[in-house]
Structure 1
Amino acid sequence: MRRGPFRDGVFRSALHEPRTAVVLGRWLGAALVVCFLTGLLSHLLQDPTGRLAGLLPARPVNGYRVTQGLHVVSGIAAVPLLGAKLWTVYPRLFEWPPVRSAAHALERLGIAVLVAALLLELFTGLLNTLQWYPWPFPFRQTHFWVGWLATGGLLVHLAAKAPLIARNWRRPRLTVPGRRAFLTSVAAAVGAVTLTTAGQSVAWLRPLNLLAPRRPDLGPQGLPVNRTAAQAGTVEVPAGWRLRVDGPRPYEIGLDELARLPQHEAVLPIACVEGWSASARWGGVRVAELMARAGAPAGSAVRVTSLEEEGPYRVMEMPAQYVDDPLTLLALRVDGETLDADHGFPARVIAPNRPGVLQTKWVARLEVSR
C-alpha cells in the first residue's frame, strides 16, 4: 500500500477523468498545430535553403505579419491550456504500480518526453517574446528541433490513447459535477491571455494590449527597435558613406545621389519573430532599379551587407522574387522623415512578407549573389 501525499484516494476531484482531459486535449492540440505549422513557415522564411528559397512568396505583403502573429498568439494560448491539461491528468503519474509491462513503460517514457518538450518549447518561446535568453544554447535552433520532438511525441501519444479518446470524444449522457464550470474557466483564461497580448500584432486589439511584451507604437519615429545603432556599433556612419552596388557594371553611389534617383513609397510592416508588428510608410529607391543599373538581369538574387561589424544577420541573402518586387526598397525615409540611426540610417532594406531580422539596416553593399 502507498502512503504519504500520493496514497490511494488522495486525488478526490471528479474532474480528473477522461472526458475533461479529451476536451482540453482538443483545444490544446489545435493551438499546438497552429503554432507548429506557423513556426515551420517562420523558420523557412528566416533561413531559406536551396531550391526552397526560390519558392517563398513576396505576397501577400502582410503574410509574415499574420503567420508569426498567429504563432506567438497560439503559443501563449497554449500555456494555460497545457497547465489545465496537466492538472487534469497528473494523478495518472502516481498510479500504482508505476510500470505494469514493457509497453506501459514505453508509453510512460513517451509521455515524459512529450511533457518535457512542451514545457521547454513554451517556456523558451515565451521568454523569446521578451528577448530574454537566460540559457547557454542557441534559441532558434533549439526551438526548431524541440518543436519537432514535441510534435512527434504528441502523435505517438495520440496513437497510444486513440481508443480512450474515441470513447470520450462525444459528450456523455452523465455530466460530471463542475466540469462545465472548469472548462468555462479555462476558456475564459485563454481568452483573457489572448486578448491582452495579441495587440502587439493585431492592430484593432491594441487598446487591450496590457500584458504583451511589446508596444508596437513605442520607439524612435513611432516604431519599435530590437537592435539599436549603439548595439550594432553604427551610431557613427563613416564620413562620405557610399553604397557599393556590385554586378556586371559595379558602381558606388552616395546619399545625395540616391535622393536624386526616382523615389517610391510603400506601406509595409516590420514584423518580428517575437510576435510584434507595425506598419509604416517607407520611401526610397527600388532595389530592382539599383541592381538593373549595375547590369544585373531580372531574376537575380542579391546579397545585402550591413555596416555593423558582427551579428548573425549582418549579411542577408534576398531571393530574386523579393528583389524584383516593386515594393522592395532601399529605404531612406520612414513616414516622411529621414531614417533615425536606430532604424538604419543612412539606408535600409524594406521588403514585403519578410521577417524583421531580414530587413537589413545600415546597408553598405548590394551584390548579385546568383
Structure 2
Amino acid sequence: MSELTIKDIAKMAGVSHTTVSRCLNGGRSVKPETYEKIMELCRQTGFTRNAAARQLKKHESKAIGIIVPDVSNAYFGELIRHLEWNAKQRGFHVFISSSFYEYGMEDQNIQALLERRADGIIISGVGDRTYLNLEKYLDKIPILFLGDNAPDELVSKITVDGYAGVVMGARYLLSLGHRSLAFLGGRESSITHRRRRQGFLDVMRRAVDVSYELFSVMPGSRIEDGYETGIAYFNHCVEAGKPYATAVMTINDHFALGIIQAAMEFGIDIPQQMSLVGFDDVSFASLPKIQLTTLAQPKEQLCDLAMETLMKLIENPQPEIYYERIQPALIRRETCMPPAQK
C-alpha cells in the first residue's frame, strides 16, 4: 500500500492540505475542533510529522529570500555577498530585495517570496514594527531575523551585540583621556540604534568628570545623513558658544564618513582635534585616507551561522526558536588619539 499523503488526510477531513500542514506544525490559526479532527485522523492512520516533512522536502524550491532595508548600504551589501555565497554552496538560489526602510514594502517583499514558494527567508528589519509584519507569516515559511528589531524569544534571530560594542568604544575613548564626548545619529524607531545609544549613555553616566551629549537631526543611516547631522552639530556648538566634543561616536560607518566631510568643511582636524568612532567595519573603513576606528561586526561568522540556522528551520517541520548574540570587536585605526593638551 502506498504511503498516505497530506492531501489524503485533507480529503478525509474535508479541509485543505495547507490546514493539515498547519496542524502538523502546531495548529496555529486552526480552529480547535478542526485541529482535533485532523490529529485524530493522523493517529488512526499512523500519519506522522516525519511523513509530512518528507513530502514537503520533495517540493522544496531550493531558493531562499534575503530582505534588507537598503542594498546600497555597504554593510548590507557585504552581508548579502556572504549569505549568497553560503547559500549557493548548499545548492540554493537567492532572491534579494530592499524594503527601503518602509514597512509596507517589507510586507510586500515577504508576500512575493511566499508566492515564489521560497523555502525560507532571512530578513534584516526596518525597525521595531517589523515583527508585526513577520508574525502573520511565521507559520507559513521559515524566517530568520538578523538584528535587534524583533522581540527576543518570539522569532529565531541572530544579532551582533551593539550595546556591548558601543560600551567598548566609549570606554576606549575615555581611556585615551577624552572627557567631552558626543553620540551622533540614530533612529528612535530602531531597536538596534536605541541599544547602541543606550550603551553610550550607560558608560557616560558612570564616568567621573565627563560632559556628554546625544545629537540627532536625521533619521537615516546614510553618508548624506551623517554629513547633514555633522553640519547641524557643529553649527549647534557655534550658536551655543560651546566647544564641540573632543570625541564622537556615530551610529555606523556610513554616518561617520559624512561627519568626516562635515568636519573638514568646519576646519576640524580628525583626529588631532576630534576623535571619531564608527560601527560595522565596512570595506571603506580601512581605506588609507579614511582609517576609521570602528566596532567590527563579524560578518562572515554572522552569515555562516545565519545560513546554518535557516537550514535547520527549513528541515524541521516543527522547529524550535533559535537565538544567538555575537560579540563585536574594537578595531583601532587612525581616527582616534588622546585629546590635545590645552
Shorter-chain TM range is under 0.3
TM-score by length of 2: 0.25
Q: Which of structures 1 and 2 has the larger relative contact order (alpha carbons within 8 angstroms, sep 6+)?
A: 1
